[in-house]
Amino acid sequence: MKYIKIKILEIISKVIMENVPFFILLGTLSFFNTEDFVLTYGSLLKNILIPLILSYSAGNFIEKRLGGIAGVIVVGGILNLYQFKSFLMPILVGILVGEVVKYSKKILDKYKYPGYEMLINNILIVVLGTILIKLFYYIYPLYDFIYKIIVENINGFAINIKFYPLYSFIIEPAKVFFLNNLINHGVLSVIGLQELSEKGKSIFFLMETNPGPGLGILTAYLYMNKKNKIKKKNIISNIFIQFIGGIHEVYFPYVLKNLKLIIPLIISGSVGVYIFDKLNLGLLGVASPGSIIMILLLAPIYDKFGIFLGILTSFFISFIIGSIILKMSNKEEKNITKINIPEEVKNKKNIKIVVVCDAGMGSSTMGATLLDRKIKKEKLEEKISVENRSVDDDLNEFDIIVIHEKLVKRIEERSKNKYIVILNDFMDGKVYEELLKNIKNKIDLNENNKEIVNKNITRKIIEKENLAIGLKKATKKEALEDIGKHLYELGYVEKNYINGILNREEISSTYLANGVAVPHGTKEYNKYIKNNGVVIHQYPYGIDYGDGKTVYILIGLAIKGETHIEILEKLSKIIENEDEIENLSITNKEKDFYKILSILED
């Protein structure tokens, strides 16, 4: 099932990230809870609208549109009798309903009749929705019964624990699995209100709402991504939402990506609670949302400094340990192949390097262009030459072969005497820098009779009909098919070229950098190219491109012969500019594309 293959945590993470504005709205309303309208709207949002929205997003993730609609039908039916205790439940219901719709639709598709698809799908949604509502009517009372038993036992157990830092071992892991409302309002607030009547304040109001641990994790991510402007901007936004707005849900997806980060959350949370306990600190009421502003407003005047100290200490501990974990994880994920060029290659007067991809057009040209610029920057252009080729070409003339890890097996037998550099991203500049560093001081200065290819582009590359912006969210396959169809409709290719684009993606990803991918056909599909052409599709909401990559701009290529070199060299310069790509990812103005990409028409 899809949620097992992709990991259910990833689905939950994406659903929450897509709907962060609703959590922000909920938190904002909590600040102004004195007016009848705000109270009524806040209750409507929390108890009905958000569960329906989450179920739609989760169902839509499994089965586009139909799964989302079915999720809303079923969750709406459940809400008719019951109220969800946690936002996690409507997400899980949406996932389950989406799976049922998906597999039911697969069965019906075998017997579909042309012209009746829409009617059959609509009837299917109604029938399945009705059946599942009835099923959940029987299941949900059992869940409610078990939930009450668990909460009552947790309450009793919690009251008897006197060493309060131990709570963090339950609270922090439970929070990242979106059980924060259950923990805070179902357990801690109940105990806190009881203690409030006895002592006038309670430490239990601080245990879950402490924003320090989550702020530390977000800041650690910010530190690790300080050179990536797009990620940096998103993380800074989430820091304000979490710390000032009190919406802790925004950092949960970051932890779900790397569950080792639960460790700094537990340690920092425990230290924070220890400080609160030893200094006899507490709040005068439930801090909802868990914002630094709300916490300090509810803190007794003599407790404010101590509470701030506890939060600050939690932050620093979470940040330091989180940064160490992320740095270690980053090294594991992005381990650069150790490069040790043989002496006989280093001592050559002219070292010939080839960057190899499947078709020898898209990814390899981008990689070769990036490497060539680094060669020129180091003033080694007279000593080292670089080209790009297809994996099926004769590579015997080259001294060093740079190739994607998924293609290595296809050249191993033919290139036993060649030095091979393996990478997993053609736009990973660190690999090229390491390669040049390894050979820089070992080569002779000699004239390099590098042949310069005469490049001519005979038609405009960016025209109005070649551009599609503001496209709705789609799956990777749908987006690739659409860009292939666009090339076909404009007369650049024959229809079979679309299969070449899909086949190319199965061999290795055409993702390059900064949210840009360059899909193109494999070499054997070049025969279906009628005219050289480029089309650009913009997806402002992003496409899940696999391996944790999100693509906002697809640049579809149908180019054969030598003309592809100049086009891709120019494209690579644009893709490397993060500011320009960020603008292209979100703009709704065609003129922005023409202005920035006019370089392709020069």
DSSP 511-573: EEETTEE--B--GGGGGGB-S-EEEEEEEEEEEE-STT-EEEEEEEEE--TTTHHHHHHHHHH
Q: Residue 293 and residue 287: Cα distance in Å, rounded?
A: 9
Pairing of strands 511-513, 516-517: antiparallel
DSSP 162-213: --GGGGHHHHHHHIIIIIHHIIIIIIIHHHHHHHHHHHSSBTHHHHTT--HH
CB 58 within 8 A of CB 50: no
Tally helices (H) and strands (E) across the chain: 26, 9
Strand order in the sheet with 400-404: 384-390, 351-357, 400-404, 419-423
Q: Residue 370 and residue 407: Cα distance in Å, rounded?
A: 20
Among 357, 404, 486, 537, the one annotated catalytic: 357
Q: Residue 133 and residue 136: Cα distance in Å, rounded?
A: 5
Pairing of strands 419-423, 511-513: unpaired
Nearest to 75 by CA among 93, 88, 58, 87: 93
Express the helix, strand and coil content of the chain in percent, nearest 5 each: 60, 10, 30
SS3 43: helix
486 is catalytic: no
CB 265 within 8 A of CB 318: yes
Task: State residue 342 phi and psi, 5-degree precision.
Answer: -60, 150
CA dihedral 74, 75, 79, 82 (to 10 degrees): 90
> What ranges in 440-496 are assigned the alpha helix state H?
476-489
404 is catalytic: no
Looking up tokens 């299941």, which residue turns up? 139
Among 248, 404, 486, 520, the one annotated catalytic: 520
Q: Residue 247 and residue 234: Cα distance in Å, rounded?
A: 15
Alpha-carbon 385 to chain mean position: 36
Q: Active-site residues: which are they?
A: 357, 520
